[in-house]
Structures are given as C-alpha cells and as structure tokens.
Amino acid sequence: MTAPEPIDFNLDDVKREQTFKPFVFSWKGRRLSASDPAELDYRKLLEIETPLAFLKYTMSQEDRDFLASEAGSMESWRLNKLMEAYYRHFGMDKDRSKLGF
C-alpha cells in the first residue's frame, strides 16, 4: 500500500474572504437589482465582452427585460454612471481581480 500523494491546495476548503449584498438601483420608478458578479460561474465570465454584459448574468430576467425595453431612452452618460456605481459597489472600480479571475 502506497501513501497518498500530498495535496498542495484544497479548493474544497477555500472560503471567500468578502461577500457583498446585491446592487440595488432605481430607474423610471422601478427597483432593479444585480447580484455579485464574483459569484458567477467562470464560464459566464469568459462570455462577457462589455461592461454592460455583467447585467445580463447578474439580473433577473424580469429586471433585464425591463431594462432592455427602456434602454432606448437611457442616455449614454446615465448608463456610464450606472456601471461606475455597479463597479464601485462590488469593489471593482480599481481592481477587477476582485471578480475572482
């Protein structure tokens, strides 16, 4: 009987150092919510090509549908402010590595 090989890192025992509450914002009188992007499956992160795409994976279908239906009336400066606040809320405004990749 041979001794088991040593394990250098046990991923099963890793715990996240910090968690965040959802990012909640209002627009056109409606409350919308986006979850923490660091909790996404890494394969979804690989599909994200634009900052706005985070919302595709972190919002409910109902909230995404509302945002999409109203997006034509959102000015680009307002969208930029939304994404800045979203990044800041999750601590990604200075360090994107907080996403976990």
Give the tens place of pLDDT for each residue, 23-38.
999 999 999 999 998 8
Asked whether residue 34 is assigned to any structural domain, the reply reads yes
Asked whether residue 28 is assigned to any structural domain, the reply reads yes
Asked whether residue 8 is assigned to any structural domain, the reply reads no
**Per-residue confidence (pLDDT) for residue 99, from 0 to 100:** 53
Q: How many CB atoms lie within 10 A of CB 6?
A: 5
Domain count within the chain: 1
**Per-residue confidence (pLDDT) for residue 101, from 0 to 100:** 42
Q: Distance between CA atoms of 7 and 28, rounded to whole angstroms?
A: 53
Asked whether residue 10 is assigned to any structural domain, the reply reads no
Asked whether residue 3 is assigned to any structural domain, the reply reads no
Asked whether residue 42 is assigned to any structural domain, the reply reads yes
**Per-residue confidence (pLDDT) for residue 56, from 0 to 100:** 85
pTM, two decimal places: 0.76
Residues with Cβ within 8 Å of residue 23, at least 6 apart in sequence: 33, 34, 35, 58, 85, 86, 89, 90
**Per-residue confidence (pLDDT) for residue 49, from 0 to 100:** 84
Segments in the chain below pLDDT 70: 71-72, 94-101
Residue type, 16: R
Asked whether residue 13 is assigned to any structural domain, the reply reads no
